[in-house]
Amino acid sequence: MGHVLRQATSRWTRLLTCSHRYIPAHSVPSQIPANSTTAQFRCSTFNQYRPYSSMNPNDFIATSLIDSVTFVAVCSDTLESLVDYFEQIIDETSTLKNPDVTYGDGVLTVSFGEPHGTYVINRQLPNRQIWLSSPTSGPKRYDFIPDKRTVNEGYWLYRHDGVTLHELLQQEISAIVGRKLEFFDLPHSQRPQDQNGRDG
């Protein structure tokens, strides 16, 4: 009984003497970056730093609305149609400097040359998304929103701003080449509309 009591007393003593306190960035040791946004806490008994990172809302991954088989089908349709259309755009735009289109293993890379930069559009099978890296608007992650009225139809939506993949490409690529393009003619590019012509 005395042994158990001593163990319990020892545990409480360690808990009471272990003070967790915030360490300001300017006093963090050199091995921990001073400009880190991660809060640092120290237990004085063990002299250890424990990082606690807050969740970045941009890292949020929405639950997919489609199964993996449907995702592969609609993603392939989307990327392959974009490959063909980007090649057509480049062929018809003589003002671009050293443009290039490459596609393989679910990754589409489109270089418009200087000063426009390079777009990368790639398939992300684990979370069933299409990821875009744009030199104009930065990185985005698109979820497929299925049209419940039609099999394997729908559109790719970036949930943080409500803009679809093809809407963004229509705006940005049209500005690069200096003419109106037709990304909305491609598969999985348009939001469904109700009987009154409104987006559904």
Question: What residue numbers bound the domain in which 96 lies?
Answer: 57-185
- Residue 91 is predicted with a pLDDT of 98
Residue 19 lies in a domain: no
At 134, the amino acid letter reads S
Residue 23 included in any domain: no
Q: Assess if residue 168 is contained within a domain.
A: yes
CATH code of the domain containing 165? 3.30.920.10
Number of domains in the chain: 1
Angle (CA) 134-138-140 rounded to 5° is 90
Integer Cα distance of 17 and 22 in angstroms: 16
Is the pTM value of this prediction over 0.85? Answer: no
CB 85 within 8 A of CB 92: no
Q: What is the pLDDT along the chain (200 residues), one digit of tens a residue?
A: 554 444 444 444 433 433 333 333 333 344 434 444 333 333 333 333 333 233 333 333 445 789 999 999 999 999 999 999 999 999 999 999 999 999 999 999 999 999 999 999 999 999 999 999 999 999 999 999 999 888 789 999 999 999 999 999 999 999 999 999 999 999 999 998 744 444 55
50 within domain boundaries: no
Supply the pLDDT for residue 199.
55
Residue 126 falls within a domain, yes or no? yes
Q: What's the pLDDT score for residue 170?
A: 98
Within-domain flag for 136: yes
In-domain check, residue 43: no
Kindly tell me the burial class for residue 79, based on how many C-beta atoms sit within 10 Å of its own C-beta (0-12, 13-18, 19 or more).
Answer: middle
Task: Tell me, yes or no, whether 173 lies in a domain.
Answer: yes
Q: What are the beta bridge partners of residue 50? A: 41
